[in-house]
Amino acid sequence: MFKHALGLSILVAVPACLIAQTAVQQPASKQPASTVPATAESGGSDSVSVAEIPEKMLTMELSETKQKIPISPVTSFPLCTSDGNVLLDLLTAKDLSQHTLLLISGDKTQTYLPSAISDLHDVFVLGFYSSGSTVAFLVRGTRQTAPSTAANKSPAGYDWSSYHRYLARFKLDGTFERSVELDTTYEIYHAALFPSGEILSLGYDSLNSSLRLLLFDSSGKMVRTMDLPAARRTVDGGAAYGSTEAAMASASVFGSVSFTPYKESILVWRRDSDDPIVEVRPGGAMREVPLQTPKELEFVDMIPADDRWVAHFRRRGASRDLPYDRTNYTYFELRPQDASIVATLSISPNIPPKLDCETDGNYMSISTDKENNIQFYYSK
């Protein structure tokens, strides 16, 4: 797990548990640049050097909002929507299973509560996503209405066999619409919405100990499965089936895969890996784009952007537990056609050295003040 130089606490979700970590700002590391020689794994001798890449300076200014928006001390990574709004998952510090989604649009806010999912019982939140006019929770729950008398029942009193994965949809005004069951035997850990209403999910193929991308129509019917780079290897690390080691290895891979919106598509990538970026379009058309990683760096993650790809890299050889700083971490704009690097993004020193999203050429960084009120910095 790595630290994030926000005033926010960071939630990292893995299938078996939820782990919360408070981010702490620390001085920038003074470690020298990496001297690791270029190899095929590190980009090869023909890889571009950071010094050869054009630089784009981002001058960020604090946005003056009309109201103070306090947030939970335990808050997930922000999700930026295509229109520049921000969606946060606020958790109850004493019970990390209790979620509240907060949509921030300028000076307006809207909350979305799992307790409003009226057609399910014993709801457990697995994730969330927003697309167009819809905000959705990926949840596990049951439609069973009466407590069970069977022996094999949950602590809430319902048959374990009645529990399934659902996507619970809300309108932007906070009104609950409906939940749709994701009709599959795969275990599901992530879900994203296309503007078309189709659903992309990450599923676990227990027979082959591997991952699959699953495409569902808007009613929750699975229409196809798709391969992805992480599926070309077993995710249990070769450990014995059913062992603790196998479960931990699988959880690590599940937690490293993320979905990021890009125009009408969804980008699928794996944190801290050399896997290609997978772009999935509505209908399931997909392409793999190998990362063109600078030889001094290694890939960390991506941020949402509506007209470009923006990737985050770390100095090769640096510890993954380092907080974000300007010495060890760098953002780059990439060409969506081939993932080649267009520019290094240099962030003005008046803000934490991290970016959260880009819309219409404008970058945003989110932080908090001393009272834990959210702050937004925008590029000029």
The pLDDT score that the predictor gives to residue 32 is 36
DSSP 122-178: EEEEEEEEEETTEEEEEEEEE---S---SSSB-TTSSBGGGEEEEEEEEETTS-EEE
How far is residue 148's CA from residue 145's CA, in Å, rounded to a whole number? 9
The pLDDT score that the predictor gives to residue 79 is 79
Given the structure tokens 């029942």, which residue do they identify? 153
The per-residue pLDDT string of the chain (380 residues; one tens digit each, 9 = 90 and over) reads 223 333 333 323 333 222 222 233 333 333 333 333 333 344 444 577 888 899 999 998 888 765 678 777 777 767 787 677 888 888 877 777 788 888 888 778 899 999 999 999 999 998 888 876 789 999 999 999 888 887 889 999 999 999 999 999 999 889 999 999 999 988 888 899 998 889 999 988 777 777 889 999 999 999 999 987 755 555 555 555 555 565 566 566 666 888 988 888 999 998 888 889 999 999 999 999 998 888 899 999 999 888 899 999 999 989 888 888 888 999 999 999 999 999 999 988 878 888 988 888 889 888 888 888 888 888 87
Report the amino acid identity of residue 266. Answer: I
Residue 250 phi, psi (nearest 5): -65, -45
How far is residue 21's CA from residue 173's CA, in Å, rounded to a whole number? 31
Given the structure tokens 């049951």, which residue do they identify? 142
The pLDDT score that the predictor gives to residue 80 is 80
Q: Name the strand (E) or helix (H) holding 378.
A: strand 374-379
The pLDDT score that the predictor gives to residue 232 is 56
pLDDT tens digits, 103-162:
888 778 899 999 999 999 999 998 888 876 789 999 999 999 888 887 889 999 999 999
How far is residue 349's CA from residue 326's CA, in Å, rounded to a whole number? 9
CB atoms within 10 A of CB 105: 14
Residue 287 phi, psi (nearest 5): -145, 150
Given the structure tokens 């799992």, which residue do they identify? 114
Query: What is the number of residues in the chain?
Result: 380
Residue 110, C-beta contacts closer than 8 angstroms, at least 6 positions apart? 102, 103, 172, 173, 174
- Among candidates 218, 46, 204, 191, which has minimal Cα distance to 130? 191
CB atoms within 10 A of CB 13: 19
How far is residue 79's CA from residue 90's CA, in Å, rounded to a whole number? 12
At residue 112, the 3 state secondary structure works out as strand
pLDDT tens digits, 157-189:
999 999 999 999 999 889 999 999 999 988 888
Asked if 308 and 336 touch (Cβ cutoff 8 Å), the reply is: yes
How far is residue 377's CA from residue 175's CA, in Å, rounded to a whole number? 30
Q: What is the pTM of this model?
A: 0.80
Reported as half-sphere exposure (CB side, CA atoms, 13 A), residue 112 has a value of 28
CA dist 363 → 18, 116, 220 (Å) = 29, 33, 34
- Among candidates 340, 344, 232, which has minimal Cα distance to 289? 340
The pLDDT score that the predictor gives to residue 143 is 95
How far is residue 162's CA from residue 363's CA, in Å, rounded to a whole number? 44
**Conformation bin of residue 151: beta by default, left when phi > 0, alpha when psi is -120 to 50:** alpha
Residue 171 phi, psi (nearest 5): -75, 165
